[in-house]
Amino acid sequence: MLFNSIDFAIFLPIVFILYWFVFSKNLKLQNLLIVFASYLFYGWWDWRFLSLILFSTLIDYTVGHQLKKEENKTKRKLLLWSSILINLGFLGFFKYYNFFLENFITAFSFFGSEINARTLNIILPVGISFYTFQTLSYTIDVYKRKLDPTKDLIAFTAFVSFFPQLVAGPIERASNLLPQFYQKRTFDYSKAIIGLRQILWGLFKKIVIADNCAEYANLFFNNTEAYGGSSLLLGAIFFTFQIYGDFSGYSDIAIGTSRLFGFNLMQNFAFPYFSRDIAEFWRRWHISLSTWFRDYLYIPLGGSKGGTWMKVRNTFIIFLVSGFWHGANWTFIIWGALNAIYFLPLLLLNKNRNNLDAIPTKKRFPSFKEFINISLTFLLTVFAWIFFRSENVNHAFLYISKIFSKSFFTNPNIIETKGMLTTISLIIIFVIIEWAGKSEQFALEKFGSKWHKSLQWSFYYLLVFIILYFGGKEQEFIYFQF
């Protein structure tokens, strides 16, 4: 079920009414309703894969209990690795089986040997990368004795399948989300209003920014041969805003919906395109995944401690794994490697933590130096997104070679000028509002809070009108494929 669909517009109020007006006095029933609603939400896409979520839930619930009882170190490790291998085994089969098989065949063909093996027509279960990492965090934390295993199977099932963030995150830690299912929840009007505001802004990002940008990004990426360098650069910039509007829009809707039910999810995006260097960008982009890799992979590997070789090795591992997490394609791996190359000079020169403070909030405009740094970081990001968006590595290099050709100095070949200029205008308005709200959790959190009520409501109605009138052709959320 998509957030920007009629189905969800009907589903959400029904669950909300049952949750607050029918089951509000019984926490167990509230959690049970969340489980039922979450399985319905997921099954709306494909009910066959509900068994995977249920199996993963039961495995980690059981392993958690056994870890609590077991004191023998070897047996505890065995339990941990059984959970990791089962969960990653499912992920590996559905997501990477064909990739490894095809590369295996290609490698043997290179040495003159022919292998006859057929790839499988495998459907990737939506959200498997997200809920797999979420449930793994529970088992790892229990193993490290940072978290007590839960005895409440319903609460644990609700934690794994919580519908607002089930298919595209944020990837919640058990230590943050699971305890919220134990606590009695009372309706908080002000929290619900903030949630609705965040949902509205998420819908604007998705339907107005991402879906409109997608039309032009698809046009240039799907017809690369037909366009010159300046047009293709424009296409890459459209994709840069598409993926941000799409994914951060989804996160906003997920977090806002959770607030309606009394839950707090972690911030997943913190205005990453205003970053002054790549290290800051990765502290602001897909925060739940970046911090997951930091805590469960980078730090156990040694982090930034040790010699230069150790730092280089760990940086490449973390970015390559991050790229591979996104998909079974060499384009994602190169995208990860490119970001490692961007990041390494900052790490080796001890400048990776130069911009820990928030983007200047007291000044209306950035300084000249900040503006240059933000612009350079943005352009590096645009360049890396070309690999992320391309069909394959050859396509990416063709796209880049055409940008760095003489055709870059020609006027962009713009068709449907009016529509494209409208989209560019909407992007500019979007960037201005994001800049104005950059010190908050999301741009609209306090935007216009000092205005007269009538002006505030006029602004919200205007946003609704823009969503309905200027919304682009419906596109599936990009991160559903991951």
Active site (catalytic) residues: 326
> What phi, psi does 204 have (nearest 5°)?
-60, -45
**Joined tokens for residue 336:** 């990860």
Closest CA to 460 of 193, 253, 256: 193
Helix, strand or coil, per DSSP, at residue 23: coil
Nearest to 185 by CA among 24, 301, 310: 24
DSSP secondary structure, 71-130, as one string: --HHHHHHHHHHHHHHHHHHHHHHHHHHHHHHHHHHHHHHTT---------PPPPTTHHH
The strand ranges marked E within 237-385 are none
Residues in the chain: 482
Q: Which long-range contacts (CB under 8 A, 24 or more apart) does 297-303 make?
A: 297/321
The two structure tokens encoding residue 108: 């043997």
Largest interatomic CA distance in the chain: 75
Are the C-beta atoms of 108 and 133 separated by less than 8 Å?
no
Q: How many CB atoms lie within 10 A of CB 340?
A: 21
Q: How many CB atoms lie under 10 A from the CB of residue 349? A: 9
Q: Distance (Å, rounded) from C-alpha 157 to C-alpha 424? A: 44
The C-alpha atoms of residue 17 and residue 1 are separated, in whole angstroms, by 19
CA atoms within 13 A on the CB side of 365: 5
Tokens of 232: 């293709």
Give the span between the Cα atoms of 35 and 159, in whole angstroms: 9
Could you give the count of Cα atoms lying within 13 Å of 20 in the half-sphere of its Cβ? 14
Distance CA 210, CA 404 (A): 26
Are 463 and 206 in contact by the 8 Å Cβ rule? The answer is: no
